Chains A and B, each alone.
Chain A
Amino acid sequence: EVQLVESGGGLVQPGGSLRLSCAASGFTFSSYWMSWVRQAPGKGLEWVANIKQDGSEKYYVDSVKGRFTISRDNAKNSLYLQMNSLRAEDTAVYYCARASYGYRIDYWGQGTLVTVSS
């Protein structure tokens, strides 16, 4: 059974940093693109970033470029999202997701809430 379990969310002040983690199991992690997708309270879904199987390619939505970094450790079956210079508009539930072929999000974690507020 595919499982994606996020951790690391919480309350952070504007301008602060946070690192999200995602533990994957039930599939060959190193064979899949992985994604982060977020959802602000009461709003729709927004794709945040993608990373290729070997970490050689990374892509971001324009609003987080230069502030967020996606990474992975295939030996630990783990995905990460380093978030710096956080803003109030980054407040959201962040989902770790498996992206088959880089674009078909076929499995999602339960999400972790990030709140940016003073």
Chain B
Amino acid sequence: DIQMTQSPSSLSASVGDRVTITCQASQDISNYLNWYQQKPGKAPKLLIYDASNLETGVPSRFSGSGSGTDFTFTISSLQPEDIATYYCQQYDNLPPVLTFGGGTKVEIK
């Protein structure tokens, strides 16, 4: 099974800061990598799909990059409403299973 290593597990940044989260797969997953935002007490929300595509309606300050085994999620200018936990998720088609990273809790400094 493919393992996903997400880091850091938490971070604290100031409003306006650039925030970067990484996810590493234990083997090549092409671009089958999605990013989700989960606010406390709420269901997750898809932000980025296929590594770098912005989901409809998601602000452009969110972006994703990478392919193969190394992926990056970026918030270009952190806003107060971005306080949440962010998860990466990969898809392995042999067999078809989904795996989430451990999550990154983003807080305001």
Interface size on B, residues (CB 8 A): 25
**In the complex, which of the residues B55, B96, B103 contacts A44, with contact meaning CB atoms closer than 8 Å?**
B103
**Are the C-beta atoms of B87 and A44 separated by less than 8 Å?**
yes
B97 touches which of A44, A59, A109 (Cβ 8 Å): A59
Is A44's CB under 8 angstroms from B100's CB?
yes
Q: Which of A7-15, A70-78, A100-108 contacts B (4 or more CB under 8 A)?
A: A100-108
Contacts of A50 in B (CB 8 A): 96-98
Q: Taking A59-B95, A102-B91, A105-B34 as contacts, is the C-beta distance between A45 and B46 under 8 angstroms?
A: no
Interface positions, chain B 32-73, Cβ under 8 Å from A, are: 32, 34, 36, 38, 43-46, 49-50, 55
Verify B46–A106 contact, CB threshold 8 A. Answer: yes
Q: Report which of A46, A57, A103, A106 forms a contact with B32, defined as CB distance below 8 A.
A: A103
In contact, B100 and A103 (Cβ under 8 angstroms): no
* Majority SS at the chain A contact face: strand
The answer on a CB contact under 8 Å between A111 and B43 is: yes
Instruction: Tell me whether B22 is interfacial, beta carbon within 8 Å.
Output: no
Contact in complex: B103, A103 (CB < 8 Å)? no
User: A95 interface residue, CB < 8 Å from B?
Assistant: yes
Give bound CA distance, A45 to B84, whole Å: 14
B87, A47: Cβ atoms closer than 8 Å: no
Q: How far is the CA of A110 from the CA of B45 in the complex (A)?
A: 11
Quick one: which of A77-118 are within 8 Å of B by CB?
95, 99, 102-106, 108-111
Interface residue ranges of B76-109 to A (CB < 8 Å)? 85, 87, 89, 91, 95-103
Most buried by B among A59, A95, A99, A105: A105
Q: List 8 A-B contacts (CB under 8 A).
A: A45-B44, A45-B89, A50-B97, A62-B1, A95-B43, A104-B49, A105-B34, A106-B55
